[in-house]
Chain A
Amino acid sequence: MANVDMIGIRKAFGASVALDDFTLNIASGELVCLLGPSGCGKTTALRILAGFEKADRGEVRVEGRDLANEPPEKRLFGMVFQDYSLFPNMTARQNIDFGLKVQKKSATERTSIIDRMIEVTALQEHADKFPHQMSGGQKQRVALARAIATSPRVLLLDEPLSALDAKVRETLRDEIRRLQLEIGVTTVFVTHDQHEALAIADRVGVMSNGRLEQLAPPRELYENPANAFVAGFIGTVNRLAAIGRSDGRWDILGRTVPGNRPAHEFITDVAAIRPEQLAIDPVTDGGASVVSVSFLGPITRVIIEDVQYGRVFADIISADASGLAPGQSVRVRLRDDVGEIVLIGEGE
């Protein structure tokens, strides 16, 4: 088990900068998700950590030791790839065995490790199958078993679930987390799927354009996004104008509330309001009308056109939405239980 530090990493491919002053500290045994749209540099960060790419500048340290001159072979990491990357000429068992053989473990030790890996990944029926005889989910479980069989110091997962279909994705996601907690391995998990990241990570690092925008536990990321990008990338958000008051609070949607930064008189800022923080009153003079109503099970998503705020998304408990219909006049307001708003505007 090891703590990992990436310090001031810069990496450019020709003219395009993939990582710029990228710093990330991971505690031993922690699972960190790097989350971001494609091209944001998250995979480059992972590949620099693995040693497949060399950083132009900056350091990678594991347990405080600089890895600059260690090739991937010497790093004692484990890695799972998006395309499974199982050796097609080997059975599941032989794939898991590969790294153990390289480590020159004894035959009895190898057998016992393989058997345990097959058991924890529930691959008993598929142990002697070749990759082309297995489904995507089974292949990725073999890849996972193969990666952790060698007891790596750090486990790297490069979009391991994005080639799988929704149901398998969810099961395997939880399985990865369970295994990771069980063996306590420091893990970096790269994904573009926010639900995946929020569901399993200890901390999530949201990236864009080669920078780490925010690194925080999932809940904090959702409730208190550091900036507009993070707010927009995690979940759905309404960007609504808030008007400052002299007492430091903000006027928004008919209420006066404190914000994560104090207001001054006459300034406006953009507040990130989640759809579930809104309520709808069916009144005739509310200055807004319903555009569409989508039933999504427990909640109902209502899209409203407000004269003052423009298009607004609201998620309300389905039981309360039964009377709403497109064209209906309504009023949108901030729910009473919202104590503080998050401002994400460009500044003071």
Chain B
Amino acid sequence: MRSLFRRENRLGLFVVAPFAAFVALFLIYPTLVVLYKAVTPGGTLGTDALQRALSGTYRTGFINSIALSGTSAIIGGIVGILLALTIKSLQRPRWLHSTLDSWSAVASQLGGVPLAFAFIATIGTQGILTKLLMNVGIDLKEYGVSATGFWGIVIVYLYFQIPLMFLVMMPAVSGLKETWREAAAIMGASPARYWRAVGIPILAPAALGGILLLFVNAFTAYATAYVLNSGGALVPLQIRFLLQGNVITGEEDLGNAIVAWVIALLLTSLLLMTLLQRRTLKWTSS
């Protein structure tokens, strides 16, 4: 950093300053204000708001959100890994890898309103799949599947979770050297043994990191959840209620406190994720 302030590098400062000011004003400042207000409810230092944010319906909200995000992250993570492994092992149609790669880059961004609509059209009460299955005597509702329920939302989230996991895992899976498998085989190890001793331990950090990312991704998803079930007891939807009703005194502190918890949760997950990714990088590039 010091060299930045040397005379010939004053240019660097000219470039960095507007960027830093921009980020500080629109990202750092609002965030710090929220965090500050969260620990000073009603103007005095205290954990009152932070405690309230984790009790009653808000506690339910956090539990639901964590369960939903966790479920979709784990299922999406497993399917994403299997997809990456399958693609790696099938070298035959050459277009397969590149197509799936591009498609994932697109689909991982396809959250939001249209996606929720697509699933309403598929497994909603009037959905095409619902009706088709009813035709052959299967009632999806009897199986607890509807676009607005827990499993319905999980199914919808998987639509962007699986491609995201595929994108995150593909480098690690590509980094699995064929010669590792061959070295294990020539030493007498069965494929199962290779996976247990080598394959899984090598993929594990990347896989855990990817699942954490998926968790964060699902936890903060708002549009899909809102369209599917705007009254659901999920943290993002509760934030909406607090935000729109913050004329009532005290509610504002509650909103700040919930956001503080959310940021803490995301920060922890993402720090863990970067640590795990660093380890993967070291292994697969050596």
Contacts and interface: CB of A to CB of B under 8 A. Distances in A.
A81 B282 contact: no
Interface string B12-49: 00000000000000000000000000000000000000
Interface stretch (A33-41, A96-104, A249-257, A306-314): A96-104
Nearest to B183: A85
B180 interface: yes
Nearest to B179: A85
Contacts of B197: 87, 98
B284 A99 contact: no
A235 interface: no
Nearest to B182: A52
A68 B194 CA distance: 23
B189 A98 contact: yes
B247 interface: no
Contacts of A132: 282-283, 285-286
B185 interface: yes
Interface stretch (A71-79, A297-305, A337-345): A71-79
Given A72-B182, A79-B183, A98-B197, A88 B188 contact: no
Contacts of A50: 182, 186
Q: Which of A77, A88, A98, A131 has the most CB of B within 10 A?
A: A88
Given A88-B202, A88-B284, A89-B202, A83 B179 contact: yes
Contacts of B180: 85, 87
A150 interface: yes
Contacts of B198: 87, 89-90
A72 B186 contact: yes
Interface in B256-286: 282-286
A73 B181 CA distance: 11
Interface in B152-198: 177, 179-180, 182-190, 193, 197-198
A51 B185 CA distance: 10
B188 A150 contact: yes
Contacts of B201: 89
A49 to B, nearest CB: 11
A98 B180 CA distance: 12
Interface string B70-81: 000000000000
A90 B183 CA distance: 14
Interface residues on B, range: 20 to 34
Interface string A168-211: 00000000000000000000000000000000000000000000
Contacts of A87: 180, 183-184, 197-198, 202
Interface in A81-119: 81, 83, 85, 87-90, 98-99, 102-103
Contact of A131 (B185, B193, B286): B286
A88 B187 CA distance: 16
Nearest to A131: B286
A83 B179 CA distance: 8
Interface string B197-211: 110011000000000
A188 to B, nearest CB: 13
Contacts of A103: 188
B151 to A, nearest CB: 36
Contacts of B284: 88
A156 B185 CA distance: 13
A5 to B, nearest CB: 19
A75 B182 CA distance: 13
A79 B186 contact: yes
A75 B283 contact: no
Nearest to A87: B198
B185 A99 contact: no
A261 to B, nearest CB: 44
A156 B198 CA distance: 22
A81 B182 contact: yes
Interface string A138-156: 0000000010001000001
Contact of A76 (B183, B188, B282): B188
Contacts of B283: 88-89, 132
B189 A102 contact: yes
Contacts of B190: 73
Contacts of B193: 102
Contacts of A51: 185-186
B129 to A, nearest CB: 43
A73 B198 CA distance: 16
28 contacts: A50-B186, A72-B182, A73-B185, A73-B189, A75-B186, A78-B187, A79-B182, A79-B183, A81-B179, A81-B182, A85-B180, A85-B182, A87-B202, A88-B202, A88-B284, A88-B286, A89-B198, A98-B184, A98-B187, A98-B197, A99-B187, A99-B188, A102-B187, A131-B286, A132-B283, A132-B285, A146-B183, A156-B186
Given A75-B186, A89-B201, A146-B183, 20 more contacts: A73-B185, A73-B188, A73-B189, A73-B190, A74-B188, A78-B186, A79-B182, A81-B179, A81-B183, A85-B177, A85-B182, A85-B183, A87-B184, A87-B202, A88-B284, A89-B283, A102-B193, A130-B286, A132-B286, A150-B188
Interface of B: 177, 179-180, 182-190, 193, 197-198, 201-202, 282-286
The 7 closest A-B pairs by CB, nearest first: A99-B187, A132-B286, A85-B179, A88-B283, A72-B185, A89-B201, A102-B188
